Amino acid sequence: MSRPRVVVAGLGDTGVLTAVRLGRRYDVVGVSVKPGLVSGQELGHRLTDPERWAQDYRFGFDRLRGLDRVRVVHGELTGVDLGQRSVEVQRPDGSTERHGYDVLVISTGVTNGFWRRPVLESPAEVDAGIRAHHERLAAASSIAVVGGGAAAVSTAANAARVWPEKRVALYFPREAALPQHHRRIWSHLRPRLEELGVGLHAGHRAQVPPDPDRITAGPVRFSTGQDDAPADAVVWAVGRTRPNSGWLPDSVIDDDGFVRTDRDLTVPGADGVFAIGDVAATDPLRSSARNFTYRLLVSNIHAHLDGKPLKAWKPPRRRWGSVIGLQPDGTTIYAPDGRPFRVPRLPWVRVMQPWVTNRLIYRGVRRAR
Ligand SMILES: Cc1cc2nc3c(=O)[nH]c(=O)nc-3n(C[C@H](O)[C@H](O)[C@H](O)COP(=O)(O)OP(=O)(O)OC[C@H]3O[C@@H](n4cnc5c(N)ncnc54)[C@H](O)[C@@H]3O)c2cc1C
């Protein structure tokens, strides 16, 4: 009997975590515009210390043991036929191919600033982009970071730590940054940023340029009346996300272009179709990108193919986890109620990353050659 066919559309953070768990039971095809996992996580580390960042957040697909049984197709999804159950993929050489499925997982994420763009790239192009963004900031003597979310806070904190000689400022529109996290988290991080010398500018709503998907030169202008802020380099981390759903029919997307998704991660009206991650309209915080939701997805795919009932999921009300990532004294994880818990650097690097993240979460990562 032939095995069920699963197509994982988009091999980013959630697509990879799903695909590595399916290859044993199904014929899995994973489609990706990127030649490997290029995680959207930890922007601050990626910009300030890209080589160290790449050790944990950028893997060639051949390094992920769980993908050994997955056929990875490098190309861009250009369409889906929900009736015929097949997706269309355009390969880098311009040719197109179709892949049939019994289950389709939509995990194409969002476009979010210069660091997350759904363009077809070779490994050399990915490396060149990451290097160019780092060099742009390294060459600046003053850096303005615009935005109040985790990406902005992480960028400002890590830039100030790695380059203490630069002037680093963070501009955010409300009284406190991190509005999607518990307020305790900003209260805990604020003094840390001040210690690092980050200039904190609350109540500053910047006028976003028409093309914020790149690092620009200053000055930053504000619609809230303050003077222009000069800066050699401006990082726009303003959360202006656009779903990567142009390849999908209107019947499965909502008015904002996100994929309509039920609490069991199925897409209503499209049998055998699931969605996860930033593209899935599960809840305002897009919580299925985090919180180990890939586990529920995998178990619901098994249930769907075995004719069993699916389980539903309750998204958390707040974001939690690390915000500024690994620091010289370790990594601080914030619980949903905002309480911090610090794992010292050595256990993080020697135990958490290799054993918990690489072995248990990613199902085995080979050493880089
Ligand atoms: C601890 C932590 C820290 C974080 N830090 C940050 C941060 O600093 N900055 C930030 O922005 N987010 C951050 N995030 C958020 C995180 O990066 C995203 O939530 C996560 O990447 C979402 O995963 P995804 O699979 O939905 O999307 P992605 O990881 O973006 O994966 C989608 C993939 O699909 C590909 N794709 C898109 N369209 C197509 C197509 N048509 N054909 C083929 N492939 C396509 C994309 O190129 C991409 O490779 C963090 C999250 C956590 C848990």
Q: What is the pTM of this model?
A: 0.95
Asked whether 331 lines ligand 1 (CB < 6 A), one says: no
Are the beta carbons of 74 and 10 closer than 8 angstroms?
A: no
List of residues 6+ apart from 199 with CB closer than 8 A: 167, 168, 169, 170
- 30 Cα to the center of ligand 1, angstroms: 15
Paired tokens of 130: 């990451």
- 228 Cα to the center of ligand 1, angstroms: 32
Burial of 146 (0-12, 13-18, 19+ CB in 10 A): buried
- 190 Cα to the center of ligand 1, angstroms: 26
Cα 67 to Cα 311: distance, rounded to the nearest angstrom = 26
Strands 259-260 vs 280-281: parallel, antiparallel or unpaired:
parallel
pLDDT tens, residue by residue, 312-341 = 999 988 899 999 999 999 999 999 999 999
Bridge partner list, 89: 77, 97
Averaged over 68-72, what is the pLDDT? 97
Are the beta carbons of 99 and 86 closer than 8 angstroms?
A: yes
Confidence band, pLDDT 50/70/90 cuts, at residue 115: very high
Cα 14 to Cα 30: distance, rounded to the nearest angstrom = 12
Is the pLDDT assigned to residue 150 strictly greater than 80?
Answer: yes
Cα 360 to Cα 137: distance, rounded to the nearest angstrom = 35
| pLDDT value of residue 369 | 76
Q: What CA–CA distances, in Å, run from 232 to 168, 217, 337?
A: 10, 5, 37
Confidence band, pLDDT 50/70/90 cuts, at residue 291: confident
pLDDT tens, residue by residue, 16-31 = 999 999 999 999 999 9
Paired tokens of 197: 């010398």
Asked whether 112 lines ligand 1 (CB < 6 A), one says: yes
Averaged over 107-136, what is the pLDDT? 95
Averaged over 125-150, what is the pLDDT? 97
Are the beta carbons of 107 and 34 closer than 8 angstroms?
A: no
pLDDT tens, residue by residue, 227-264 = 999 999 999 999 889 999 999 999 999 999 999 999 99
Protein residue whose Cα sits closest to atom 31 of ligand 1 = 12
Cα 123 to Cα 86: distance, rounded to the nearest angstrom = 28
Is the pLDDT assigned to residue 1 strictly greater than 80?
Answer: no
Confidence band, pLDDT 50/70/90 cuts, at residue 211: confident
Protein residue whose Cα sits closest to atom 17 of ligand 1 = 40
Name the average pLDDT for the chain.
96
pLDDT tens, residue by residue, 184-207 = 999 999 999 999 999 999 999 999
Is the pLDDT assigned to residue 46 strictly greater than 90?
Answer: yes
Asked whether 121 lines ligand 1 (CB < 6 A), one says: no
Cα 264 to Cα 311: distance, rounded to the nearest angstrom = 6
- 308 Cα to the center of ligand 1, angstroms: 30
pLDDT tens, residue by residue, 265-283 = 999 999 999 999 999 999 9
- 364 Cα to the center of ligand 1, angstroms: 20
Protein residue whose Cα sits closest to atom 53 of ligand 1 = 290
Share of residues in the chain with pLDDT > 70 (%): 100
Confidence band, pLDDT 50/70/90 cuts, at residue 304: very high
| pLDDT value of residue 317 | 87
| pLDDT value of residue 212 | 87
